Amino acid sequence: MIIIRLASAADVPALAELRRVSTFEHFPERDDEDFAERFASWYERESSRRMTWLAEDDGTAVAMMNVVVFERMPRPGPDPGRWGYLANAYVRPAYRNQGVGTRLVEAVLSYADAVGFARVVLSPSQRSIPFYRRAGFGPADALLSRERPAG
């Protein structure tokens, strides 16, 4: 049975392994013996503003998804709110097309709704666009983006 839950510092090795496996799907030659240590340092730095959901099957990590929380600058009057950036979604191949990703995005969006995020944005891969559209995402007409210049 798949369990979806918030990850904690104790889950860092499992999250690092999911990140390693997801990278190897696209870049099999990218081995990095210091990766686990770098990941743990990154997680510690990011944990105050990033929440990660983990999917487990009988205690084994099979998928993850996180959201970076952006606090808007305060101003006089009503609270200007927060928004989230959904990132680093990954489901192990054996668990794809079984609703695991859907349950993860539902957990993220439930959290976002409960705490009153103004919006949740993401930068999907071409392959994931239909998945996120089914979850209610659409074009970000209210945002502008600048890509890094080539060269």
Question: Can you read off the two tokens belonging to residue 49?
Answer: 């503003």
Tens place of pLDDT per residue across the chain (151 aa)? 999 999 999 999 999 999 999 998 888 877 788 999 999 999 999 999 999 999 999 999 999 999 999 998 888 988 878 999 999 999 999 999 999 999 999 999 999 999 999 999 999 999 999 999 999 999 888 777 788 888 7
What is residue 106's predicted lDDT score, i.e. its pLDDT? 97
What is residue 145's predicted lDDT score, i.e. its pLDDT? 76
What is residue 69's predicted lDDT score, i.e. its pLDDT? 96
What is residue 31's predicted lDDT score, i.e. its pLDDT? 73
Question: Can you read off the two tokens belonging to residue 3?
Answer: 């369990």
Q: Is residue 41 part of a domain?
A: yes
Domain that holds residue 78: 2-134
Q: Is residue 147 part of a domain?
A: no
What is residue 146's predicted lDDT score, i.e. its pLDDT? 80
Q: Is residue 23 part of a domain?
A: yes
| Strand 120-122 to 82-91 pairing | parallel
What is residue 53's predicted lDDT score, i.e. its pLDDT? 98
Q: Is residue 12 part of a domain?
A: yes
pTM here is 0.89
Q: Is residue 142 part of a domain?
A: no
Report the 10 Å Cβ neighbour count for 126: 6
- The tally of domains found in the chain comes to 1
Q: Hunting for tokens 């210049």 — which residue is that? A: 149
| Strand 82-91 to 60-71 pairing | antiparallel
Longest C-alpha distance within the chain, in Å?
A: 53
Q: What is the CATH number of the domain that holds 104?
A: 3.40.630.30
